[in-house]
Amino acid sequence: MKYLIIGSGGREHALYWRLLYDDSARQGDVYAAPGNGGIADNYRVDLKINDFPGIEKFCIDRKIDIVIVGPEAPLVNGLVDYLEQKKIPAFGPSKAGAMLEGSKLFAKTIMNKYKIPTAGHIEFYDKDELIKYIRSVKEFPIVIKFDGLAAGKGVGIPESTNEALEFIKATVKEDTKVFVEDFIEGEEASILGISDGNDVITLVSAQDHKRIYDGDKGPNTGGMGAYAPAPLVDNKKLSKIYEEILKPTITGMRKEGIPFKGVLYAGLIIKGNDLKVLEFNARFGDPETQVILPLLNEKLGGIIEKSINGGIKDYRISFKDKYAVTVVISSGGYPGDYEKGKEISGLDDLSDNIIAFHAGTESRNGRLYTNGGRVLNITALGNDLMEAQNKVYSEIDKIKFDKAFYRKDIGHKALEYFKL
Ligand code: GLY
């Protein structure tokens, strides 16, 4: 099988790694467009993720069997539909299916119609109405969300009327579709399922760490680290999530005439037995993928084929009885302004049991440089979470570049709250 992976982050390097090393695809059979410094130059394709004709031409020239779409933007823009029209199999939802991520209000409509548990919300199509409503709110925090894709920046959780008004002033334009959601307390977990449009299989649970600083402080990022499985989600909860969230969403989408294929990622908030969907994504999570794929027992390529061609219902998936931790090393200043082009050293000194997934890296003349906010994902497995965490943190300082930054507490929630 020949694969082309679309994207350039840690998630895409993890997909590449998994197909090549654990699925045993042959060198030369897995390409990434545009990829990053972790992918050999010969297998990087100099194409933009939304250059559909360019992607099509590459697939025809190189006889690619399956395109795997990493990020949300090309999905929401219809890459899977485009390739399918050209008879090139692609993994991921159609443009209409990807609206579960592309329009939070569409997702809310589906959740409410099919009784999928989620927070209550009120929609606003007029900025003055929104401001009037905010002035009437008595209890904070509240959650203010934008409807469309906003690269993680479309959510505000103001603690007071003034904070809410400032957030609106800074971010909401006259034509921004906005909704206000009830704030729900609890712990977050990411549950990813893979669907063929009819049924869905559930992957091992994971937890992301979205804030930049230790103790979940500071601004949101794309994700500073993750671990799997999340002890918060035991097998009973995982079955409940399948029955009450993943399966009804897939069934609901089919009833709407929009069969959803690919990854259905449910971002959940959990308190005791109460589960609610905070958001859906229509793709693999980043950095969750960097801890989920190393734990997978089956071949990723086989699951992807089932998603495209059908047969997920009878697929038995299993995961290693281990834990995985990944810690993101970012450029100093991220998620605000940061510099690129810093030389990276130390990767060759990492022990064999560490996997370094690249994200914002670029290789030039045999040297490696930073090229983004999130630079590397240092990953390890362990028999328990602490062992995996210790392995990562005992090695991570071997990696050096100017102003490198990482959180020191990835996995802390599980270790503190669940006394593992
Ligand atoms: N880990 C968050 C995301 O992938 O959106």
pLDDT tens digits for 179-189? 999 999 999 99
The residue nearest atom 3 of ligand 1, judged by CA position, is 285
| Nearest protein Cα to ligand 1, atom 5 | 285
Measured CA to CA, the distance from residue 104 to residue 95 in angstroms comes to 14
Q: What is the rounded average pLDDT of the residues 240-250?
A: 98
CA of 328 to the centre of ligand 1 (A): 13
Pocket probe mutation, ligand 1, options 15, 190, 293, max atoms within 8 Å of Cβ: 190
Query: What single DSSP character describes residue 398?
Result: G
Percent of the chain whose predicted confidence (pLDDT) is above 90: 89
b (16+ CB within 10 A) / e for 117-134: ebbebeebeebeebbeeb
Beta carbon of 223 within 6 Å of any ligand 1 atom = yes
**Does the pLDDT value for residue 418 go beyond 70?**
no
At residue 244, what are phi and psi to the nearest 5 degrees?
A: -100, -15
In sequence order, what E strands does 8-63 have? 30-34
CB 285 less than 6 A from any atom of ligand 1: yes
Which atom number of ligand 1 is nearest to the Cα of residue 226?
1
Tell me, what amino acid is at 340? K
Cβ density class 16-27: b for 16+ within 10 Å, e for less: bbbbbebbebee
Ligand 1 centroid from CA 226, angstroms = 10
Amino acid 179: pLDDT: 93
Q: What is the pLDDT of residues 130-180, one digit of tens each?
A: 999 999 999 999 999 988 887 666 789 999 999 999 999 988 888 888 999
Residue 56's CB is within 10 A of a number of other CB atoms, namely 18
Output the pLDDT for position 413.
81
Task: Supply the mean pLDDT for the chain.
Answer: 95
Amino acid in the structure at residue 31: Y
Question: No. of H helices and E strands in the chain?
Answer: 14, 23
The rounded Å distance from CA 271 to ligand 1 centre is 20
Residues 403, 46: Cα–Cα separation, whole Å: 28
CA–centroid distance, 287 to ligand 1, in Å, is 7
> Could you give the count of Cα atoms lying within 13 Å of 359 in the half-sphere of its Cβ?
27
Is the distance from the beta carbon of residue 29 to the nearest atom of ligand 1 less than 6 Å? no
Question: Buried (b) or exposed (e) across 224-255, using 16+ Cβ within 10 A?
Answer: bbbbbbbbbbeeebbeebbeebbbbbbebbee
For residue 276, CA distances in Å to 65, 246, 256, 271, 282 come to: 37, 12, 22, 9, 17
User: Which is the closest atom of ligand 1 to the Cα of 284?
Assistant: 4
Q: Which helix (H) or strand (E) holds 159?
A: none
Instruction: Indicate whether residue 208 lines ligand 1 (CB < 6 A).
Output: yes
> What is the pLDDT confidence band of residue 44, given thresholds at 50, 70 and 90?
very high
Above 70 in pLDDT, residue 119?
A: yes
Tokens coding 221 = 């990022």
pLDDT at residue number 17: 96
| Mean pLDDT to the nearest integer, 208-215 | 96
Q: Which of 49-58, 140-149, 256-265, 328-337 has the lowest mean pLDDT?
A: 140-149
User: How many angstroms does the Cα of residue 152 sit away from the middle of ligand 1?
Assistant: 8
Which run of H or of E encompasses 137? none
Which of 265, 277, 357 to probe ligand 1 with, by most ligand atoms within 8 A of CB?
265
pLDDT reading at 420 higher than 90 = no
| CATH (one of 2.30.60.10, 3.40.50.720, 3.50.50.60, 3.30.1490.20) for 120-181 | 3.30.1490.20
Q: Is the pLDDT of residue 271 over 90?
A: yes
- Alpha-carbon distance of 391 to 372, in angstroms, equals 25
**Which pLDDT tens digit goes with each residue over 357-413?**
999 999 999 999 999 999 999 999 999 999 999 999 999 999 999 999 999 999 988
Distance 223 CA to ligand 1 centre (A): 6
Q: How far is residue 414's CA from residue 416's CA, in Å, rounded to a whole number?
A: 6
pLDDT over 70 (residue 417):
no
Helix, coil or strand: residue 199: coil
In the prediction, which pLDDT does 129 show? 92
Q: Is the CB of 72 under 6 A from ligand 1?
A: no
Q: Which atom of ligand 1 is nearest to the CA of 152?
A: 5
- Nearest atom in ligand 1 to the alpha carbon of residue 190 is 1
In this prediction, residues 15-20 reach a mean pLDDT of: 96
Is the C-beta atom of 101 inside 6 A of ligand 1? no
Q: Are 229 and 384 in contact (CB under 8 A)?
A: no
Which pTM was predicted? Answer: 0.95
- Whether the CB of 288 sits within 6 Å of ligand 1: yes
Instruction: Output helix, strand, coil percentages for the chain, rounded to the nearest 5.
Output: 35, 30, 40
Distance spanning both ends of the chain, measured CA to CA: 41
> Looking at ligand 1, which residue's alpha carbon is closest to its atom 4?
285
Q: How many CA atoms lie within 13 A of 65 on its CB side?
A: 12
Q: How far is the CA of 68 from the centre of ligand 1 (A)?
A: 17
**Residue-level pLDDT at 149:** 82
